[in-house]
Structure 1
Amino acid sequence: MTDPLSEHRETCVVLGYGRIGRRVARALAAGDNGPVLAGVVARDAQAVAADPAVRVFADLDAALATAPDLIVECASPATLAAAGSDILVAGVDLVALSLTAFADPAVEARLREAADAGPGRLSIPSGAAAALPLLRVARKAGIEKVRFRQTYLPSHWAKISGETDALQFTGSFFEGSVRAAASRFPFNLNAAVGVALAGLGLDDTTIELVGDPAIGNMRYALDIESLGAPIRLDIGPYRDRPSEGPDHTAYSILAMLAARSDAIIF
């Protein structure tokens, strides 16, 4: 008897070849459960030279010309803002990672409109926070409050903000909406934006940014009030985390891709 799930494997293009895009592309090229890697779109084609089995497209138009089933965006907020709608309109499903693009209300409206119109579908992986399914359930039941807390070393906050004085990032230095925070740190709050999109939205989800000299690397804390019951999720800090991983963001993408063809879906 022929297994209907094995008759067709989707084709996937990875847009962006940084740390996360490279991990996703290599896993798909190795034949892990999920779609077939059609190739990557990389700003620096030489960066892919170490992976001869990976095809490099000259640009996004060249990738779309091969009619892939889906594109995984691992590039930048600017790339998602510029290309996301075109990908969806072309009938290609889009897995979006650079979620801080949604901090711009015009970009958020454009992406939502394109996703509503289709035919491509927009999917958002759980990422480093690993909480989107939980928020989806809570939203269905009724969410009263969502609060996210993101902690880095003060020196890390200073580095990503372009500041030289790390002392200003010691302790709790920001509390407000996710939209305001993501506008200030557009490359480091994708997990927070994902939490907001799955829950109460960017304007009604509260975030606290903290600098802790003793943290070692990072910590996320999520508090949800739903049905009168508090829910709390803590992630990190990692113990002796190497520079290349573990990376829950990359694995959340791979899990989402594998689920597209799984016989049992969680």
Structure 2
Amino acid sequence: MLKAGMIGYGTLGKSIAELIEAKQAGNVELNSVLVRRKESVLDSAKQTFAVTTDEEEFFKGELDIIIEAAGHQALQMYGEKALASGSHLVVLSVGAFGDTGFYQMLQTTASQHNKQIFVPSAAIAGLDRIAAGALGEIDEITLITRKHPRSWSGTIAEEKVDLKSLIEPFCIYEGNARESSKLFPQSVNVSAALSLAGIGFEDTKVQVFADPTIQSNTHTIKAKGYFGEVEISVSNVPYEQNPKSSPIVAMSVAKVLKNLTSPLVIGV
């Protein structure tokens, strides 16, 4: 059985914990969770794991794998320490890898300690196809993300348009993945994951829309190259309490964990 730890216990962290406890993540046990405030976890009626605010205590837990579910800053603070402690690392805040120095440092640390960094497909699909296609030549990749205006509350979108008065789709950003992952760290981490699988942050095109005509979060990937062409669209039901994310993200983490303990692995 794999001993897992998790950094963060927000909406996503709680969902991941529930999937592990329901045995939907394979032969994995959640041993401990690192949080800023213990009270954020103590309301969990079925809590079976240790909760700590002490990072030294957490990283001494001899964990096989650590799941980062707490944002870019938490990954930057604890990513290296997680790998150096002897744990594999599952990363959700992939946009932090837009910092090339940080990204290279984590890879070096993982290699030094013979550990791996896992980036789940999370809110999008087709990363396996893109990563395979990147073994040949890829001509272009575009990501189009559409979310209801309420999902862009608290972002720079509020500086571009009155989100509450929108009656038709509005493009709030068009550019590349490096910039988009910085401007929308909670909502466009998918562009970073796509960039890592494919042709890099600078060459991955991104369009971001606030769309009052939809209720789900949609992501469309378009790519063409030596392998042919692919267009993949997904429509994700957002969390009510956190419309910037979707339950499929937690399910994707559970799939990564299940793959590590399953005798049969599909779709890698």
Q: TM-score range by the shorter chain?
A: 0.7 to 0.9
Residue 18 of structure 1, aligned match among 6, 10, 28: 10
1:155 positional shift: 4.4
Name 2:264's counterpart in structure 1: 264
1:228 positional shift: 5.6
In the TM superposition, what are the counterparts of 1:122-137 in structure 2 within 5 Å? 122-137=117-132
1:251 pairs with 2:251: yes
Name 2:20's counterpart in structure 1: 28
Percent identity for Structure 1 against Structure 2: 22
Indicate if the aligned counterparts of 2:236 and 2:246 stay in contact, CA closer than 8 A.
no
Using structure 2 for the length normalisation, give the TM-score.
Answer: 0.87
Question: Which structure would you say has the larger RCO, counting Cα contacts within 8 Å and 6 or more residues apart?
Answer: 2
1:158 positional shift: 4.4
Distance 1:38 1:176, change over 3 A: same
CA deviation digits over 1:107-164, x for unaligned, max 9? 2232232233332211111101022212121112332211101112234324333736
1:78 pairs with 2:70: no
CA distance in 1, matches of 2:235, 2:255: 20
CA distance in 1, matches of 2:10, 2:117: 21
CA distance in 1, matches of 2:85, 2:51: 20
1:40 pairs with 2:39: no
Distance 1:126 1:249, change over 3 A: same
1:175 positional shift: 1.7
Matched pairs, number: 256
Residue 154 of structure 2, aligned match among 150, 159, 169: 159
Indicate if the aligned counterparts of 1:155 and 1:166 stay in contact, CA closer than 8 A.
no
CA distance in 1, matches of 2:117, 2:197: 13
Name 1:216's counterpart in structure 2: 215
CA distance in 2, matches of 1:37, 1:250: 14
Using structure 1 for the length normalisation, give the TM-score.
Answer: 0.88
Secondary structure of residue in 1 paired with 2:261: coil
- The runs of 5 or more residues in structure 1 that have no matched partner are 1-8
Deviates further, 162-171 or 29-38:
162-171
Secondary structure of residue in 2 paired with 1:141: coil
CA distance in 1, matches of 2:131, 2:2: 26
1:64 positional shift: 1.4
CA distance in 1, matches of 2:102, 2:239: 34
- The runs of 5 or more residues in structure 2 that have no matched partner are none
Name 2:95's counterpart in structure 1: 100
Indicate if the aligned counterparts of 2:83 and 2:113 stay in contact, CA closer than 8 A.
yes
Indicate if the aligned counterparts of 1:28 and 1:36 stay in contact, CA closer than 8 A.
yes
Q: What RMSD, in angstroms, separates the aligned Cα atoms of the two structures?
A: 2.2
Indicate if the aligned counterparts of 1:15 and 1:41 stay in contact, CA closer than 8 A.
yes
CA deviation digits over 1:65-119, x for unaligned, max 9? 1111010000110111121112112221000111111122322232232233332
Letter in 1 for 2:116: R
Name 1:232's counterpart in structure 2: 231
